[in-house]
Amino acid sequence: MIVLFTFLAGIGAGSLGALLGLGGGIFLVPILNIALDVPLPQAMAVSLITVIATSNFVSLASAGQKSANVRLAILLQLVSAIGAIGGTYMLDYMSLRTRERVFGATALVVAVVILSRLNQRNVLQGHVDDVGFLGGWFQDHDTGELVAYRLKRVPVAVGVAAGAGVISTLAGVGGGVLVVPALNSWCGVPMRVAAATSAVIIGVTAIPGVVDNFARGHLTSPMLAAGGVLGVLVGSRAGFWIGAKVKVRSLKILLAVVLAVVASQYLWFK
């Protein structure tokens, strides 16, 4: 029965994850831990596996391939992988409660930042040939046109990606929860590109955490993991379909609300 519930939770987490480029782990961990009474380390291990499933699905789907900025992704994967590996060593010295509080506070700050910049589209007007270092073009669903964007504040993107790597391992989530809002709000990357690029990044970011969990014996139930993964793959398809029909502003509001809920979970309800 718990496998069936994990499958259903995976569908919900996968659809929200694909929609927001988050990986879905932030939804799955509380569901598994609080609702299904799965021990937290095991819930985080299953969550990280499902993050990889979401990443695979989104980054291999044609819409994801068109929107993702692959070069930006590969550079941020490098620093986020370093952060994730660092996180596996920090796990030996940090209490679980401290990790939950750090993550909750971070999610809350990012939610406020997004809500304060709701109308920022980050696209360049008119015909643009030079998009600068790591900029790009993408098909804007809102207007149907090919629009350009420039990457700003590269050090911020790098720093946030490294932090996302650490958080990914410590909290058992994808790290997109930090990367997507940072790329969109501070680095000039349109929301849809940020979400698709983040989806590419989080798959690699989650691998050190998964390997570490496996080595620590937290990944003990392949059935639970498989149930979560299959649910996430079904949910990702639904989330991607919904994502093509949702306006960017709505996507931002949804992301902020989700982040606030996640923050309250980590700060007060655990």
Partner 1 sequence: MTNRPESTGLKRVLQVALMATSATLAMGLALSLFVSGPAAPVAEALLWLGLGMLVTIPVLNVIDVVIIECRLKEWPFAAAGVAVLVLLAYTVAIKVWR
**Rule CB under 8 A: is residue 266 a binding residue for partner 1?**
no
**Rule CB under 8 A: is residue 60 a binding residue for partner 1?**
yes
Closest CB 48 distance from partner 1, rounded Å: 10
Beta bridge partners of 149: 136
Closer residue to partner 1 (CB): 1 or 268: 1
**Rule CB under 8 A: is residue 66 a binding residue for partner 1?**
yes
Closest CB 256 distance from partner 1, rounded Å: 27
Contact at 8 Å (CB) between 114 and 173?
no
Closest CB 233 distance from partner 1, rounded Å: 6
Task: Figure out which of the listed residues 97, 222, 247, 269 binds partner 1, where binding follows CB under 8 A.
Answer: 222
Task: Figure out which of the listed residues 85, 246, 261, 267 binds partner 1, where binding follows CB under 8 A.
Answer: 85
Task: Figure out which of the listed residues 33, 47, 55, 168 binds partner 1, where binding follows CB under 8 A.
Answer: 55
Closest CB 58 distance from partner 1, rounded Å: 11
The residues, ordered by sequence, that sit 6+ positions from 150 with a Cβ below 8 Å of its Cβ are 124, 131, 132, 135, 188
Positions 89 through 148 that interact with partner 1 (CB under 8 A)? 131, 134-138
**Rule CB under 8 A: is residue 172 a binding residue for partner 1?**
no
DSSP line for 52-114 = HHHHHHHHHSHHHHHH--HHHHHHHHHHHHHHHHHHHHHTTTS-HHHHHHHHHHHHHHHHHHH
Beta bridge partners of 266: none
Positions 231 through 260 that interact with partner 1 (CB under 8 A)? 233
**Rule CB under 8 A: is residue 176 a binding residue for partner 1?**
no
**Rule CB under 8 A: is residue 74 a binding residue for partner 1?**
yes
Residue ranges of alpha helices (H) inside the chain are 2-20, 25-30, 40-60, 62-67, 70-90, 96-116, 154-171, 176-186, 191-216, 222-243, 248-267
Task: Figure out which of the listed residues 8, 34, 63, 78 binds partner 1, where binding follows CB under 8 A.
Answer: 78
Closest CB 199 distance from partner 1, rounded Å: 10
**Rule CB under 8 A: is residue 230 a binding residue for partner 1?**
yes
* Separation CA 54–CA 254 (nearest Å): 18
Task: Figure out which of the listed residues 9, 43, 81, 255 binds partner 1, where binding follows CB under 8 A.
Answer: 81
Give the DSSP letter of residue 34: I
Q: Which two tokens mark 265?
A: 């979970």
Counting beta carbons within 10 angstroms of the beta carbon of residue 119, is it exposed (0 to 12), middle (13 to 18) or buried (19 or more)? exposed
Task: Figure out which of the listed residues 33, 47, 69, 184 binds partner 1, where binding follows CB under 8 A.
Answer: 69
* Rg of the chain, C-alpha, whole Å: 17
**Rule CB under 8 A: is residue 5 a binding residue for partner 1?**
no
Length reported for the chain: 270
Contact at 8 Å (CB) between 149 and 123?
yes
Binding residues for partner 1, per CB under 8 A? 3, 49, 52-53, 55-57, 59-60, 65-72, 74-75, 77-78, 81-82, 85, 88, 131, 134-138, 200, 203-204, 207-208, 210-212, 214-215, 222-223, 225-227, 229-230, 233
